[in-house]
């Protein structure tokens, strides 16, 4: 076999993936560096290293190397000295997620990433591809499941937002998607009669909510809570309400009650009410008559990662963000989960050594054997890389051509390097380091190379994306 350069192959300036600028949109903006393989980065067979999400649970060491008092049995006390007040404080417990989560690439973002990887012909560590996907939440498609067997989650159909309970899901629908299911209209009514000395005002919206001695007080503050502060406990919201005693403010509120909102169901069917007098009534109507278009309960929920920015603060959002941080630290599960997707997109995976790093590239690697022949220039390139793996292009050219090469000779070396990369005989890592693929000298080495590819292809196959 005697491979020859293809004049259609790109020149040496087109193989740098950094020119694509994987930024916030993956295809534009500042370049995101991806750690090269073969260096000192973490291997897949090693456990997690570095700072854990949320910080070092041990805390800093006190001055002088003293780690604090020991407990009985020689174990040190888990508390640490708080130098600011001279006292002791307990370390905060790590969050306890209420769901499990799996992370997959968003389809559109993954397509852009795959295009860039194919065009660059760069070889990446599988973990680095996973970290690039995990780096920003809007690149993710997230699958969450309850921790308890047989448990359920709820999902808002209009926007796909997930929830731990039906109550939370309905409150979200009424606060964010009321107009999807109801039209609102104002009607004239008799103003209330009574002795009203003060009215409550929401400190955040400045809306007047009514008088505490009015019969509609509880209903109105519940409606306001559900519409604006569903993530806050009702008791906390109620306790935050300000009482205003100015007569003109009280009089304005009394006058405003001569008009009230009514909720008119959209797509009304025979037998359904023409209008509903309160938000609570509208909520009951929604769950009874529009459930199939409003929300669903499921054993697991899939939603786009961009929704995390819109989710109300709470234990579900905190759980998912914590689990993302754990995967960013050691993305084994995410890496296994994207293997099948990479194979379907035409990428090739192989391992270096039985317990080595898994690599992924748009070009299938090729190992040399006794029947493989190359041009003199390519033979020199491979020989230098066999002697000193990890050279960058300039270093490799200098070793081949010496101190003052001609422009034509330098161009030929660059052409040879690009061709060998495009054919899979040389791997170029993201930092520019070049590595020649191994030489197959006997049947045992051929079997090892085949096992490396088979191991990388099969590992994690059971973690492919769940079907909706």
Give tens-digit pLDDT for 273-328.
Answer: 999 988 889 999 999 999 999 999 999 999 999 999 999 888 999 999 999 999 99
One domain, residues 224 and 319: no
Could you tell me if residue 4 is inside a domain? no
Least confident among 235-249, 349-363, 379-393, 420-434: 349-363
Could you tell me if residue 395 is inside a domain? no
- Which of 193, 191, 157 lies closest to 260 in space, CA to CA? 191
Could you tell me if residue 336 is inside a domain? yes
**What is the domain count for the chain?**
2
Distance separating alpha carbons of residues 34 and 19, to the nearest angstrom: 13
Average pLDDT of the residues in 248-255: 90
Could you tell me if residue 401 is inside a domain? no
Distance separating alpha carbons of residues 337 and 332, to the nearest angstrom: 9
Boundary-marking domain end, from 239, 273, 298: 298
Those residues whose C-beta lies under 8 Å from the C-beta of residue 376, and which sit 6 or more positions away, are: none
Question: Can you say whether residue 449 is alpha, beta or left, with left for phi > 0 and alpha for psi between -120 and 50 degrees?
Answer: alpha
One domain, residues 137 and 18: yes
The tokens of 397 are what?
A: 């050219």
One domain, residues 25 and 104: yes
Are the C-beta atoms of residues 42 and 444 closer than 8 Å to each other? no
Instruction: Give DSSP secondary structure letters for 70-91.
Output: B-GGGPBPS-EEETTTTEEEPP
One domain, residues 164 and 136: no
Could you tell me if residue 463 is inside a domain? yes
Are the C-beta atoms of residues 464 and 357 closer than 8 Å to each other? no
Predicted confidence at residue 465, as pLDDT, reads 58
Strands (E), 177-316: 182-188, 199-201, 208-210, 242-244, 259-265, 295-298, 301-304
| Share above pLDDT 70 across residues of the chain, in percent, rounded to a whole number | 77
Could you tell me if residue 337 is inside a domain? yes
One domain, residues 457 and 350: yes
Looking at the DSSP bridge assignments, the partners of residue 295 are 156
Residue 160 pLDDT more than 60?
yes
One domain, residues 228 and 336: no
One domain, residues 294 and 306: no
Could you tell me if residue 217 is inside a domain? yes
Average pLDDT of the residues in 430-458: 85
Predicted confidence at residue 91, as pLDDT, reads 59
One domain, residues 334 and 262: no
One domain, residues 230 and 311: no
Q: C-alpha distances in angstroms, 420 versus 207, 221, 376, 424, 426?
A: 70, 71, 13, 6, 5
Boundary-marking domain end, from 298, 327, 358: 298
One domain, residues 283 and 334: no
With residue 451 as reference, give the H or E element that holds it.
Answer: helix 443-458
Residue 27 pLDDT more than 50?
no
Q: C-alpha distances in angstroms, 131 versus 125, 171, 177, 330, 457?
A: 10, 35, 35, 9, 19
One domain, residues 200 and 131: no
Distance separating alpha carbons of residues 237 and 229, to the nearest angstrom: 8
Could you tell me if residue 18 is inside a domain? yes
CA angle 321, 326, 329 (to 5 degrees): 125
Whole-prediction pTM value?
A: 0.69
Residue 403: Cβ within 10 Å count: 5
Range of the structural domain that residue 284 is part of = 156-298
One domain, residues 105 and 247: no
Q: C-alpha distances in angstroms, 332 versus 36, 81, 102, 350?
A: 17, 36, 11, 16
Boundary-marking domain end, from 298, 331, 357: 298
């Amino acid at each position: 076999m005697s491979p020859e350069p293809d004049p259609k192959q790109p020149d040496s300036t087109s193989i740098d993936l950094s020119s694509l600028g994987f930024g916030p949109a993956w295809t534009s903006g500042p370049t995101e560096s991806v750690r090269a393989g073969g260096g000192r980065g973490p291997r897949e067979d090693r456990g997690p290293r570095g700072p854990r999400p949320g910080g070092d649970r041990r805390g800093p060491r006190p001055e002088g190397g003293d780690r604090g008092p020991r407990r009985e049995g020689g174990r040190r006390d888990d508390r640490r000295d708080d130098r600011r007040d001279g006292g002791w404080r307990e370390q905060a417990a790590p969050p306890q997620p209420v769901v499990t989560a799996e992370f997959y690439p968003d389809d559109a973002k993954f397509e852009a990433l795959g295009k860039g990887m194919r065009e660059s012909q760069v070889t990446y560590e599988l973990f680095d591809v996973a970290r690039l996907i995990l780096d920003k939440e809007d690149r993710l498609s997230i699958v969450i499941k309850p921790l308890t067997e047989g448990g359920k989650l709820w999902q808002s159909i209009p926007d796909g937002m997930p929830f731990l309970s039906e109550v939370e899901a309905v409150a979200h629908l009424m606060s964010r998607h009321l107009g999807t299911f109801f039209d609102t209209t104002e009607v004239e009514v008799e103003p209330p009669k009574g002795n009203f000395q003060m009215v409550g005002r929401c400190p955040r919206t400045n809306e007047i909510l009514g008088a505490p001695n009015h019969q509609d007080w509880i209903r109105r503050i519940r409606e306001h809570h559900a519409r604006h502060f569903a993530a806050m406990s009702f008791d906390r919201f109620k306790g935050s309400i300000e009482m205003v005693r100015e007569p003109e403010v009280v009089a304005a509120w009394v006058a405003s009650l001569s008009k009230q909102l009514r909720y008119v169901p959209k797509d009304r069917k025979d037998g359904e009410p023409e209008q509903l007098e309160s938000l609570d009534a509208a909520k009951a109507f929604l769950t009874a008559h529009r459930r199939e278009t409003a929300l669903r309960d499921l054993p697991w929920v899939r939603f786009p990662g961009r929704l995390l920015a819109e989710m109300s603060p709470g234990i579900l959002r905190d759980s998912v963000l914590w689990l993302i941080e754990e995967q960013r630290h050691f993305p084994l599960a995410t890496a296994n989960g994207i293997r099948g997707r990479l194979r379907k997109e035409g990428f090739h995976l192989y391992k270096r050594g039985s317990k080595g790093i898994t690599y992924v590239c748009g070009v299938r690697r090729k190992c040399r054997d006794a029947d493989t022949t190359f041009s003199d220039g390519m033979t020199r390139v491979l020989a230098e890389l066999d002697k000193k793996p990890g050279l960058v292009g300039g270093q490799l050219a200098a070793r081949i051509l010496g101190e003052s090469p001609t422009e034509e000779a330098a161009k030929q070396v660059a052409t040879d390097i690009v061709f060998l990369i495009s054919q899979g005989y040389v791997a170029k890592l993201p930092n520019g380091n070049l590595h020649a693929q191994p030489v197959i000298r006997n049947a045992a080495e051929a079997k090892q190379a085949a096992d490396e590819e088979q191991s990388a292809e099969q590992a994690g196959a059971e973690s492919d994306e769940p079907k909706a």
